[in-house]
Amino acid sequence: MVHRENIDGSQGLSFLALAVASSDSYLPTPQATYELVYELTRNSGILEKQRALIESSGSKSYAPTSDTSPLRYLLGVSFFYNEKISGAGALDASRALKAIIREIESDGLHQPFSYQYREPP
């Protein structure tokens, strides 16, 4: 039997949002944080598809419009760094990573809001 939370991916999104939000407390080096943010940003199209899937499923608990949804948090982080990459004119992976490093070293990891894990209903 397939459970609904396995279909909408809400637990995976919660885990990923928590992993990004608390990355400085468990990743061994700043470089690991930069790479995590780079991969999140590089794969932001997948997050957009996940948002469409959740919206079409009618899930209320993890709706991307919720003020504290894990998907909203992840999209906020990836959008912020995508803007920085575009603003830097980075056209390849190396320059994109450098733009992310520069931003995180300057201002710390962007937090669109304080993400705190909550158990799914």
Give residue limits of the domains in the chain: 9-107
Q: What is the pLDDT of residue 112?
A: 78
pLDDT tens for the chain, 121 residues long, are 444 444 446 778 888 998 999 998 999 999 999 999 999 999 999 988 888 877 787 766 555 556 568 888 899 999 999 999 999 999 899 999 999 999 999 999 988 776 665 555 5
Q: What is the pLDDT of residue 42?
A: 94
DSSP reduced 3-state for 115: coil
Angle subtended at Cα 42 by Cα 55 and Cα 60, rounded to the nearest 5 degrees: 15
Q: What is the pLDDT of residue 117?
A: 56
Q: What is the pLDDT of residue 67?
A: 59
| Cβ contact 78:103 at 8 Å | no
Q: Is the pTM of this model over 0.85?
A: no
Fill in the amino acid letter for 45: G
Q: What is the pLDDT of residue 85?
A: 95
Residues 6 or more apart in contact with residue 28 via CB below 8 angstroms: none
